[in-house]
Amino acid sequence: MEEMRSNFIHDIIDEDLKDNPSLKIHTRFPPEPNGYLHIGSAKAIWINAMTAKKYGGLFNLRYDDTNPSKEDTEYVDSIYEDLKWLGCEPSGGIYYGSDYFERCYEFAVELIKAGKAYVCDLSADEMREYRGTLTEPGRESPYRNRSVEENLELFERMKRGEFPDGAKTLRAKIDMASPNINMRDPAIYRIVHTNHHRQGDKWCIYPLYDYAHPIQDALEGITHSLCSIEFENHRPLYEWVIDNLGFENKPKQREFARLNVTHTVMSKRYLRKLVEEGLVDGWDDPRMPTLSGLRRRGYTPSAIFDFVSRAGVAKAYSVVDYELLEHCIREELNETAERRIAVLHPIKVVITNYPEDKVEYFEVANNPQKPECGTRRVPFTREVYIDADDFAEVPPPKFFRMKPGSEVRLMGAYIVKCNEVIKNSEGSLVEIRCTADLETGNGMPTDGRKVKGTIHWLSSSFAKDTTVRLYDFLFDIENTADIPEDKTYDDYLNKASVTEIRGAKIEEALAEAPAGERFQFVRCGYFVKDTKCENVFNRIVGLKDSFPKAQK
């Protein structure tokens, strides 16, 4: 994988290294295990993992499992599998936020003793009311000036489970008049009587992310906490926690713009809804923006990171065209994918002047881009299949494929002439009858005549049946951030996001291909053997690249 290009984050690190040349760069990726990772997660992984790699440092995976009501071991496992698939196994180790529950509790007690935290009885709605607005300061809680002794006693009782959910919180005592709302005595502990996926029923109070995260970073020796831009306004609280708990290691939080992609929703809550309501075939549905969905669709880690790299590292909001992602995988597969023949909408063609019992083989290149990939032998017989799109009984202008009375080249084999169209009693096409110029083989006519069209084909005796799935965008609105207030994501679900073609024909070798292997189906696009459904091929991307060259 190519080294990450320099960006504003690296400029910050370079300055830090000037001041402290012995600094060992240490980054982390802290996903909440409440869903599967998506293409936006890939940017955070790439920035943190590749930054650590560039500077010869360490990269941690830390599960942010401080919200037990939404977490599941299924998500824990899937996150690690995605990191391994991306080639970003954590060099600094794997950790869990729940590993630090005891330390977070101890630090909270320190804050109470120092008069910097208090137990508050305001409800969530009351806290919002007291919080103030962007233009008006907040009001102090009536419980703000409880004594240290009372706060310690109440916090201990919270820990023992004596109060119901939402009855009390522990709040940092900072500044209710701060222009930054996040600094107006934020809650740092809440009561949640729910079983934890690792801790069981040991705890019924849980630290909030803004409090727990800086503690976890400091304890793990993180030097640079690189996160998305929505945490920028939370940075003063991050630094307040670090400073007021007296950590010698003071990690720096720095923020970058999230990865927003056209026709895509990144909300894990909504993606979970799609899964739970059966609107998609699980988290790994090839239409989903999840990494497992992209993997099943046939995308590669290198193409995904190439896409993220080209999208860039900046702080400004932007939406990246999905076609750039398609361009990245198409560019890769054009070099690496072997060619095979598939006829998606087969029509039988009978070569009337070819012997019924004869089989001959033609050599076809595995990848014209790479002669070193060699060739394979494709069988030819009297009856072959061509694609319905390659025949027109009444052709439009400049139609150079098969049509009555005209010649066309069967790719790598004979030139044939369409002589007769056979239909059934209902007028539907049954077969096409042709004659072959048996002198041509896969060469040119001896009389010098020109044949413009070339179409792909398969022997009907050797072709195998398969199912092919063609995918389109899951949402038919370009920028899902532009959905009107009276609409929801549901209103823009693309009902034609998948087309299933049964009875498509493929080469024999494709039927035996292992799941997950990628091919170019000649003249059809790039496809992958599905990893979940037997004898199914998913289209990764079409052959046509419409992404503007200036942006590639």
What pLDDT, on a 0 to 100 scale, did the predictor assign at position 548?
A: 63
What pLDDT, on a 0 to 100 scale, did the predictor assign at position 5?
A: 82
- The encoded tokens of residue 42 equal 């890939």
The model scores a pTM over 0.75: yes
Our measurement of the distance from residue 30's CA atom to the centroid of its chain's CA atoms, rounded to an integer in Å, reads 17
Please tell me the total count of domains within the chain.
Answer: 3
Q: How far is CA 175 from CA 132, 137, 481, in A?
A: 12, 9, 34
Is the domain of 126 the same as that of 225?
yes
3-state secondary structure of 463: coil
Domain presence at residue 511: no
Domain presence at residue 510: no
Which residue among 256, 283, 312 closes a domain? 256
Is the domain of 104 the same as that of 183?
yes
What pLDDT, on a 0 to 100 scale, did the predictor assign at position 550?
A: 43
What pLDDT, on a 0 to 100 scale, did the predictor assign at position 444?
A: 81
Q: How many CB atoms lie within 10 A of CB 180?
A: 14
Which residues in the chain come in under a pLDDT of 70? 1-2, 546-552
Q: Looking at 254, 258, 376, 464, which residue is catalytic?
A: 258
Domain presence at residue 261: no
Domain presence at residue 320: yes
Is the domain of 203 the same as that of 296?
no
Whether 268 sits among the annotated catalytic residues: the reply is yes
Q: Looking at 146, 168, 190, 268, which residue is catalytic?
A: 268
Radius of gyration of the chain (CA): 31
Q: Looking at 32, 81, 331, 332, which residue is catalytic?
A: 32
**Any idea what DSSP says for residue 402?**
B
Instruction: Give Cβ neighbours of residue 40 (< 8 Å, ≥ 6 apart).
Output: 258, 259, 260, 261, 266, 289
Is the domain of 334 the same as that of 239?
no
Instruction: Give Cβ neighbours of residue 450 (< 8 Å, ≥ 6 apart).
Output: none
Is the domain of 425 the same as that of 354?
yes
Q: pLDDT tens-digit profile of 290-343?
A: 999 999 999 999 999 999 999 999 999 899 999 999 999 999 999 999 999 999
Is the domain of 60 the same as that of 133?
yes
What pLDDT, on a 0 to 100 scale, did the predictor assign at position 549?
A: 52
Is the domain of 326 the same as that of 375?
no
Which residue range forms the structural domain that includes residue 21? Answer: 8-256
